[in-house]
Structure 1
Amino acid sequence: MVMQIVAKRMIAADTVKDFFIQHWETTQVVFSRGLFHYAELEGFGVMDENGKITGLGTYKLSDHVCQIISLNSEHENQGVGSSLLYVMENIAKEKKCHTIKAITTNDNLQALKFFQKRGYVISEIVKNAVEESRKIKPEIPFYSFDGIPIRDEIILEKCL
């Protein structure tokens, strides 16, 4: 697959919005760390040879820490997520961040594997964090597609 990584701001706003909604069901992501609107985030997209967006990664920089907000791909195991993560890590280094963090939920075993294979370590578990997030975003499901209760946030980090 031929792919091109471009800054999120270079992709049509409606295209980014539609992709975000496809993966998050709304234009917002909520964690114990806050509520984030896709339009306010920096990020990168992966475009295929036809100009279609196949991946999107967003982040927020604060106090020498890069917080990954979203990382989604249309196609697993084709390097889209890894490429986006690599670019975000390099941006974080350029901006003098000493740590990059990702947050996932206890049911997201794919994300846990993905980040740990790339040098991230579990640094914190926020028990019952999703219960609080549902107060802001009630459409968060109670169970994953394979029946695991969605309950806790797992924070992974990597020193840069």
Structure 2
Amino acid sequence: MPTARAIDTSDRHPIRAFLDLRWGGPTIMLDGRAIDAAALPGFVALDADGAIAGLITLLDDALQSEIVTLDAVQAQAGLGTHLLELAAERARALGLGRLLTRTTNDNLDALRFYQLRGFRLHRLAAGAIDLEREADPAIPLLGRHGIPLHDEISLIRVLGAD
């Protein structure tokens, strides 16, 4: 498995390029706010050649740490889970009681991934993607598996000693 470590300042340019390639850019919309995911704390995993193999970026508030991006180049190899657990350890160390993540109604793989790792459905923001599409017409009408893309789903994992 690639080596994962906390993001440092030397990672910012490669992370920005990775997010451009994998996410279409580093800007992530959260509740109408544009978040620069490339500037956030988190963890990066590098392969043997030094290329980014996985990334998790986090946004903290007084109660929780929110996963803004989570991406592993090779799916189902355990790296996403490893990065997620590093984020949980970090949140606990900061005294935060939970991890929050969001996905869209079409992302069945993410819904499965997070629920199998202790997350519970938290909130449905019906029509949230429709509103974002008004501001950014490039957001497609159809998502994964041909599912119409309309809603945002939040999931929460309460952090105890788990």
Residue of structure 1 equivalent to 2:86: 87
TM norm structure 1: 0.92
CA contact (8 A) 2:106 2:144 kept: no
Query: Alignment identity in percent?
Result: 28
**Matches for 1:44-63 after TM superposition, within 5 Å:** 44-63=43-62
Between 1 and 2, higher relative CO (CA 8 Å, sep ≥ 6) is seen in: 1
Gaps of 5+ in 1: none
Superimposed CA distance per residue, residues 58-117 of structure 1 (whole angstroms, 9 cap, x where no aligned partner): 011101211110001110110111011000011000111111100000000000000000
1:5-154 correspondence runs (5 A): 5-9=4-8, 11-32=10-31, 34-154=33-153
- Using the TM superposition, name which of 9-18 and 73-82 deviates more: 9-18
2:8 partner SS: helix
- Contact in 2 for aligned 1:30/1:136 (Cα 8 Å): no
**Number of matched pairs:** 159
Which segment is superposed worse, 113-122 or 28-37? 28-37
The alpha carbon displacement at 1:33 in A equals 6.0
Task: Give me the TM-score of the superposition, normalised by structure 2.
Answer: 0.91
Gaps of 5+ in 2: none
